[in-house]
Amino acid sequence: MVVTLDRRRKSRVARLARTLERHLGTPRQERRLPPPLSMLIATILSQNTSDKNSHRAYRELRRRFRTWHAVAAAHPASLRAAIRVGGMANQKGPRIQKVLKSIRDRYGRYSLEDLRAAPDEDVIELLTGLDGVGVKTAACVLLFSLGRDVFPVDTHVHRVCNRLGIVEACPTPEKTFLAMRGLVPKGKAYSLHTNMIRFGRSICRSASPACERCPLFDECVYPGKRRRSRTGLRTSGADHDFMLLDNVEA
């Protein structure tokens, strides 16, 4: 029974991935991926802010401090000033310095290159053991830096998965992440993650979903979905919004 349910869910996710690729394109990952430590810090900076502002904060951080050692040793006020544009500088500054210190203590240097040889589970365990680093951040490092076929779940992905009924009543992105493991078709984590974020930003928005032009209308089980005002599908085209984690420089 459970096997049948899982199989049904897997084929729904595969269909969803195909539909989104048809409507939004097939995103391709860069060949050269940023170092895992750069990705980790960029992802911490991206928490609770827009991609554009966190990218500006990341660039300013790298401009003012040439090495991770310099960031770790920076005066807290200088660090806060560098990342202020990304918001929550009072929380993110100390968090970044704490994370850097833990990495230095563990590896004897400011680097996470050792993670390249570690299995996914070990990477998740190690990263989530750092103060202020959650499962989403760990999954982003795996996908966007280590090139693993891991599917991160942020608020957009979480909302879309629940509205479509792919996962059932998962109250948090962490729970949705666990429920989605094993459901994403092999080799499709990057494409599906990227397209779900585009879809969540442009169509299945949090407050006012554009159900009338949703290519997944018939699949959706969300009680708040709005009736179509016209028949037929209208594609939205790809949303070319800047996406931070595809633009992290070493």
Point out which residues bind ligand SF4 (CB under 6 A).
Answer: 163-164, 203-204, 209-211, 214, 216-217, 220, 222, 225
How far apart CA 241 and CA 202 sit, in angstroms, is: 9
Side-chain half-sphere exposure of 60, counting CA atoms within 13 A: 17
Q: Are the C-beta atoms of residues 125 and 93 closer than 8 Å to each other?
A: no
Sign of CA dihedral 152, 224, 167, 27: negative
Q: Which is nearer to ligand SF4, 210 or 250 (CB)?
A: 210
DSSP reduced 3-state for 220: coil
Q: Which is nearer to ligand SF4, 59 or 201 (CB)?
A: 201
Q: Are the C-beta atoms of residues 100 and 130 closer than 8 Å to each other?
A: no
State in angstroms the smallest separation of the CB of 236 from ligand SF4: 10
How far apart CA 92 and CA 49 sit, in angstroms, is: 12
Q: Which is nearer to ligand SF4, 141 or 204 (CB)?
A: 204
State in angstroms the smallest separation of the CB of 211 from ligand SF4: 3
Tokens of 179: 């429920």
Burial 146-162 (b: 16+ CB within 10 A, else e): bebebbbbbebbbbbbb
Q: Which is nearer to ligand SF4, 57 or 216 (CB)?
A: 216
State in angstroms the smallest separation of the CB of 90 from ligand SF4: 35
State in angstroms the smallest separation of the CB of 166 from ligand SF4: 10
Side-chain half-sphere exposure of 178, counting CA atoms within 13 A: 9
Which residue type occupies 116? R
Tokens of 10: 């897997």
Q: Are the C-beta atoms of residues 85 and 57 closer than 8 Å to each other?
A: yes
Burial 60-85 (b: 16+ CB within 10 A, else e): bbbeebeebeebbebeeeebbebbbb
State in angstroms the smallest separation of the CB of 199 from ligand SF4: 8
Q: Which is nearer to ligand SF4, 44 or 214 (CB)?
A: 214
Q: Which is nearer to ligand SF4, 53 or 236 (CB)?
A: 236
State in angstroms the smallest separation of the CB of 243 from ligand SF4: 20
Q: Which is nearer to ligand SF4, 93 or 215 (CB)?
A: 215
State in angstroms the smallest separation of the CB of 197 from ligand SF4: 14
